[in-house]
């Protein structure tokens, strides 16, 4: 079983316009995906287009995808992370996949944004693409 974890990063913002605060918040939410087993920091590149892996390089090409919304997403994903042998900050989302059965489950909290959800779904197809 493989997993990808997203972490929540808190910050203090100076007094700014509403649109700047919103953009800053979105940027910080995007700063959640990082490396291998976990998504710790997502850079601003998450807004940019990317080139999907070639089909022969993907973990799976046809995925049986489920999406689970949990209030305890941080605890759940942290436990999955421990099983995978990694440890990061409290996650805000994760993807757990089993390539042999083409199964992938995305786990989020009750209010994910499109970037969080899309990022985790990409893990289902491409596995650990942060490398």
* Model confidence pLDDT, tens digit, residues 80-125: 877 766 666 668 899 999 999 999 999 999 998 888 899 899 999 9
Determine the pLDDT at residue 1: 65
Confidence of residue 72 (pLDDT cuts 50, 70, 90): very high
With a cut of 50, say whether residue 48 has pLDDT above it.
yes
Determine the pLDDT at residue 84: 65
Does residue 65 fall inside a structural domain?
Answer: yes
Does residue 56 fall inside a structural domain?
Answer: yes
Does residue 111 fall inside a structural domain?
Answer: yes
What size, in residues, is the chain?
Answer: 131
Confidence of residue 44 (pLDDT cuts 50, 70, 90): confident
Determine the pLDDT at residue 31: 32
> Crossing angle of helices 114-126/18-30, nearest 10°?
20
Count of domains forming the chain: 1
Domain carrying residue 81: 2-126
Q: What is the bridge-based pairing of β-strands 64-69 and 103-108?
A: parallel
Does residue 131 fall inside a structural domain?
Answer: no
Tell me the average pLDDT across 11-20.
Answer: 47
Cα(81)–Cα(21) distance, rounded to whole angstroms? 31
């Amino acid at each position: 079983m493989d997993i990808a974890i997203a972490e929540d990063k808190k910050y203090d913002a100076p007094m700014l316009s509403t649109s700047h605060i919103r953009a800053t918040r979105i940027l910080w939410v995007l700063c959640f995906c990082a490396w291998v087993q976990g998504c710790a920091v997502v850079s601003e590149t998450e807004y940019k287009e990317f080139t999907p892996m070639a089909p022969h390089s993907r973990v799976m090409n046809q995925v049986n995808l489920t999406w689970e919304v949990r209030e305890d997403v941080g605890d759940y994903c942290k436990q999955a992370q421990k099983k995978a042998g990694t440890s990061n900050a409290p996650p805000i989302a994760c993807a757990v996949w089993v390539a042999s059965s083409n199964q992938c489950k995305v786990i989020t909290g009750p209010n994910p944004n499109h970037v969080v959800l899309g990022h985790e779904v990409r893990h289902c197809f491409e596995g650990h693409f942060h490398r």
